[in-house]
Amino acid sequence: MKTPILFTLFVITRICATAQANPAPTASCNTPQHRAFDFWIGTWSVTNPQGKPAGKNEIRVMQDGCLLQENWTSANGVYKGTSYNYYNAFTGQWNQTWVDNQGGTLLLTGGIENGNMILSGKSKNIQGQWQLDRITWTPHPQGTLQQVWEVSADEGKTWSKIFDGLYQRSQ
pLDDT of residue 7: 47
Q: What is the pLDDT of residues 57-84, one digit of tens each?
A: 999 999 999 999 999 999 999 999 999 9
Q: Number of folded domains in the chain? A: 1
Inside any domain, residue 21: no
CATH of the domain at 162: 2.40.128.20
129-140 exposure pattern, b = at least 16 Cβ within 10 A, e = fewer: eebbbbbbbbbe
- Residue 3 falls within a domain, yes or no? no
pLDDT at 40: 97
Percent of the chain with pLDDT over 90: 80
pLDDT tens digits along 82-122: 999 999 999 999 999 999 999 999 999 999 999 999 999 99
Residue 11 lies in a domain: no
Residue 12 inside a domain? The answer is no
Which domain range does residue 52 map to?
38-169
